[in-house]
Every structure is written in C-alpha cells, then in structure tokens.
Amino acid sequence: MDNIDRAEEREDVADFTVEPYSEENEHKIRISNGISLRDLNSEGIIFQPEIEDDSQWKEDQGSHYFANHLEEMERLLEERRDREKETEAAAVEDEDLTEFEQLKKKMKDVTESRDGGVLKKVVKVGYQTEGSVPAGATVTLHYSLALEGQDEPFDSSYLRGRSERYKLSEGQLIEGMEIGIRTMKKNEKAMFMINWVYAYGQIGCPPRIPEEAICLGN
C-alpha cells in the first residue's frame, strides 16, 4: 500500500481523514454510537450530532451576520424610510386635490395622441382576447355619465333599467366614450375620465351640462 497518494494539506480545508476527533475540535460531528450492520440492513442509521450547547454559537453567528451586513441593512432601512416619506407626502398632496384630480392619478391615457383627453381605469378585467373593438362595430353596454360634484349622473342606462346597443362611428355616442369602448374587452368593466374636447365641447349642453365639462363614465 505504499503507492497511495496523500491529499495536499490546505489550511482552509478541515480534513477529517487525517485529523482524529478530540474535544478541542469544536462543532465537528461524530457518530455517537457504533454502527450495527444488522440495523443498517433493516431500519437504517440515524446520525445525530453531539453539540452540548449551541446557543452561544448561534448568538455568535447572528452577531457576526449583522456586523458583516451592516451596510446592507442600513441601505434597506433608508429605502424603507424614503418610501414612508413618499407615501406621507402623497397623502398630504391628495388632500388638496378634487375628487376628479385624485382619480386621474390612478388612470391611464388611452387616446392615440396621448393628450390625456380620455383616461381609463379597469374595474373588472374582461376576456383577454387579441385585437380591439373595430370601428363600426355594434356594442351592447351599461353606462353612466356624471359630472364632478353632482349627486346623480346626467345620463345612465342603469337608471333607465336596461343595457343599450349602439353602433360605433355613427355619432350615437360622444367621442370620448367611443374611444374608451374601443379599448375594452368582452365583460370588462372600466371607468373613463373624458375631457370636454372629447365630450360636449367648450359650450356644453346647457342647462344640464355646463361649458368645458369633464365627464366621468362608468
């Protein structure tokens, strides 16, 4: 057996093949009892580490972790403080906004020119099909149109008691509603903020709809 090679000794490797167990070797695992071949063939062997008291080891490991990751933890805490400040600032800012202005911040522009004339918020997701509602399509919908500060909508199929059918691109609906409808999917529910340019114009429709009226459709 003289030709067996010996592994090169390295300081960063604990080599248990050459180092016998001793009480000075901290946290090294040994088999508490001898292995019975009969147990090995029947029930198997359970290996249990003999560490009398590992509480101090756990405490040391924990303190070492926090000491070694202090910079990372400070960065995470700083990010959390920044998010809390942003949330508080946003809440204070929203207090000075009107109901429509607060709602606008949660809506998406759906006009082709991205001029903010028709904003959308999905209330209930519909069937995820490809494409959009084509021009000239016939659609069936329930809707309400309201102005900011009004207790009741000025136009509502819900109040009339039944859904209504329209053909797009024939002037049956205001332009903003048609733009919004063409972004929708089947069974989708959505809310739209429609600027007066896409609604009833600069003059409005007196006396019910004032000039430059912004409409909320849902």
Threshold 0.85, pTM exceeds:
no
pLDDT of 174 > 50? The answer is yes
Query: Rounded distance, CA 141 to CA 135, Å?
Result: 16
The share of the chain scoring above pLDDT 70, in percent, equals: 64
- Structural domains present in the chain: 100-217 (3.10.50.40)
Q: Over the range 167-179, which residues count as b (16 or more CB within 10 Å of their CB) and which as e? A: ebeeeebbebbbb
Query: What are the tens digits of pLDDT across the range 69-120?
Result: 677 777 778 888 877 777 676 666 667 778 888 888 889 999 999 999 999 9
- pLDDT at residue 163, rounded to an integer: 92
CA atoms within 13 A on the CB side of 78: 6
- pLDDT at residue 217, rounded to an integer: 92
Q: Report the pLDDT averaged over residues 132-150.
A: 88
Provide the terminal-to-terminal Cα distance of the chain, rounded to the nearest Å: 89
